Structure 1
Amino acid sequence: MRISFLVFLLSFSAFAQNTYKKKAALLGSPFEIIVVANDSVQGYAYCDMAIAEVKRVENLISDWIPTTQVSEINRNAGIKSVKVNAEVFGLIDRALKISHLTDGAFDISYASMDKIWKFDGSMKQMPSEDEIKASVSKVGYKNVVLDAQASTVFLKNTGMKIGLGGIGQGYIADSIKELLQKKGCSSGLVNVSGDITTWGYQPDGSPWTVAIINPMNKEKVFASFPLIDSAVETSGSYEKFVTFNGKRYSHIIDPRTGYPATGIVSVTVFAKKTEIADALATSIFVMGKDVGISLIDQIPNIECIVVSDTGELFVSKNIDLKKYN
């Protein structure tokens, strides 16, 4: 589940006459597209293309829309394989690779979980151990079977479901970037509810810039980072959590155990691809800061910032916050 923005944009430049943007509520979340163009006709045409691309991909991969290919896969769990197009197959394949990489901390079959945790203030006591165990009994990415030659997806067990929410918004941001570049847009920024990707430069030649705010104190900024043809994603739990016996449980659930992640309030991941940043941010939340940062330190060209529930800041090995303060 995506939360309110933990990443916000700095001022764009004094040359706003060549910068055009649109905001919309898409995918149940805030969406913003900013492009650099020669004139308003071209600029807003690019913005409209971006919005149309969101809707196109949503109608392929959403597990909430009954007519999508993902919904068809879920309806046929335990029954038969479902043929999907190359785009959907590729995204599911990459998502499964991340599931393997994170040993199931990221798991696209998370949609099989029973929703026994409530983060709307209605929970008065923790679910029982048996309820928690049963809630994830149908989860297991290893039971998702792909056939590359036939381009089919099969869920082995009845009642299984896959969901691409943990990677799909990042994929949509990347798809918009690729589309607009092909259409001749030389510079822009896409923000899909905190999944941000950029290309090119602002009209004055400066890079697009994002600021990472302190989730424990929204008036404070940890650091500002230039984004040059790259992406950033922040996942957080500072707004959606429950507390039992003095322990804070986030709304991000470990699909391996059924228990909410603990110890972290915010994870920011920098990568070249937004879909990777998207999936890994959730993974780090579930794995915890030590295991999560250790994993990031082993992957080239990916960095992260983790904020613990005590307000402490931890970073991967190649981030020097002093450089960006």
Structure 2
Amino acid sequence: MTARQVRVCPVMGTVASIHVIGRADAVALEHAVDGAFRLLRRADRVFSMYDEQSDIGRIARGELTVAAADPWVREVSDACDGAEFETRGLFSAHLGGAFDPTGYVKGWAAERALREHLAPLLSEPAVQAVGLDVGGDLQVLTSDDSDWTWSIGIVDPADRSRVLATVPVRNGAVATSGSAERGAHIVDPRTGMPATGIRSATVIAPGLTRADVWATAAVVAGDDLSWISRAPDTSGLLVGDAGDVHRWIGGVTVDVQPA
């Protein structure tokens, strides 16, 4: 049986878990884990919309400028502008005149934490793969020398005990967005109204930043699936409000199951 080492930390209003497949050196493992969780906590301190003392909170109140804030703020702001352009407005960090990068930061921070702090563990001969899950969205990496493959389940939004599909991933990310757990909390930036039409959107992409952005964009797009062809590095599964299921691979729709 393949060994799995797991570390868990509450952060960003959810739970983050690190998974290492194989046996990592104890000192190297704890150093990597501490670094990854420290990065996530820093992201929380800088970008939290619920902490009045976060950089984002202070910017919203006019107490801090983007130029004077943590350098990550400018980096994320520019990246969000790029995501808004790429998705043609389906994703935006500017709602109601305020800068709110909540829909971007979790995926961005998790991907960065994994690549900067956990990926180096793959240089150890006994480590086959590493993964980081933050609130159900995850990024995984596998050693070129390993035959390990991650098996990622996509849950039915209408029945959380049922798995609609299982996706094999060696290197990549999986993000899910929708109304199944938190209701219609995603706002269509084009109208200012709650997005409707898609109950759950799961997107598989090379990195969690892109997977997270396109999962949000998919929910906002609703019944309009034309965005899929504009995201050729993604695959995934959409569940409509009526229970219809749409699957696509590499930007091409491959299967539609009516409700």
Aligning the two structures, in what range does the TM-score lie when normalised by the shorter sequence?
Answer: 0.7 to 0.9
Question: For 2:195 and 2:49, how far apart are their aligned partners in 1?
Answer: 23
Q: How many residues align structurally?
A: 247
Instruction: Provide the C-alpha distance between the structure 2 equivalents of 1:22 and 1:81, rounded to a whole number of angstroms.
Output: 34
Counterparts of 1:101-180 in structure 2, within 5 Å, are 101-110=86-95, 139=96, 160-180=97-117
Matches within 5 A, 1:1-325: 14-16=1-3, 19-36=4-21, 37-76=23-62, 82-110=67-95, 139=96, 160-181=97-118, 183-186=120-123, 187-201=129-143, 205-241=147-183, 250-290=184-224, 293-318=225-250
Rounded Cα–Cα distance in structure 2 between residues aligned with 1:204 and 1:275? 25
Q: Which amino acid aligns with 1:95?
A: C
CA contact (8 A) 2:119 2:141 kept: no
Q: By how many angstroms is 1:196 displaced?
A: 0.6
Larger mean Cα displacement after TM superposition, 95-104 or 66-75? 66-75
- For 1:287 and 1:273, how far apart are their aligned partners in 2? 21
Q: 1: CA distance between counterparts of 2:161 and 2:213? A: 27
- 1:302 and 1:20 map into 2 onto residues whose CA distance is 29
Unmatched segments (≥5 aa) in structure 1: 1-13, 111-138, 140-159, 242-249
Q: Percent identity?
A: 27
Does the Cα contact within 8 Å between 2:201 and 2:218 map onto a contact in 1? yes
The residue type equivalent to 2:238 in the other structure is V
The secondary structure found in structure 1 opposite 2:153 is strand
Relative distance call for 1:277 and 1:103 in structure 2 (3 A) is same
Q: Which stretch has the larger CA shift, 163-172 or 85-94?
A: 85-94
Per-residue deviation, 1:299: 2.3
The offset of 1:181, in angstroms, is: 4.6
Cα distance in 1 between the residues matched to 2:121 and 2:236: 32
Give the letter for the 1:309 counterpart: D
* 1:83 counterpart SS class: coil
Aligned-pair CA distance for 1:29: 0.9
CA distance in 1, matches of 2:42, 2:190: 32
In 2, distance between residues paired with 1:168 and 1:217? 28
Give 1:228 deviation, angstroms.
Answer: 2.0
Letter in 2 for 1:173: A
Q: Which one has the largest radius of gyration? A: 1
Superposition RMSD in Å: 2.6
Q: Which has the higher strand share?
A: 2
Measure, in 2, the Cα distance between the counterparts of 1:188 and 1:43: 11
Relative to the length of structure 1, the TM-score reads 0.68
For residue 277 of structure 1, what is the amino acid of its counterpart?
A: A
Name the amino acid aligned to 2:244: E
Q: Structure 1 residues 58 and 202, CA, compared in 2 at 3 Å: closer, same or farther? A: farther
Q: Do the aligned partners of 1:35 and 1:47 also contact (CA within 8 Å) in 2? A: no
Q: Are residues 266 and 38 of structure 1, via their aligned partners in 2, closer, same or farther at CA, if it must alter by over 3 Å?
A: same
Partner Cα distance (1:215, 1:201) in 2: 32
Instruction: Quote the offset at 1:203 in angstroms.
Output: 10
Distance 1:181 1:26, change over 3 A: closer
In structure 2, the CA distance between the partners of 1:101 and 1:38, relative to structure 1 (3 Å rule), is closer
Please tell me the residue identity of whatever aligns with 2:68. K
Task: Work out the CA distance in 1 between the residues paired with 2:144 and 2:38.
Answer: 24
Q: Matched residues in 2 for 1:302 and 1:207: separation? A: 18
Most deviating of 32-41 and 266-275 = 32-41
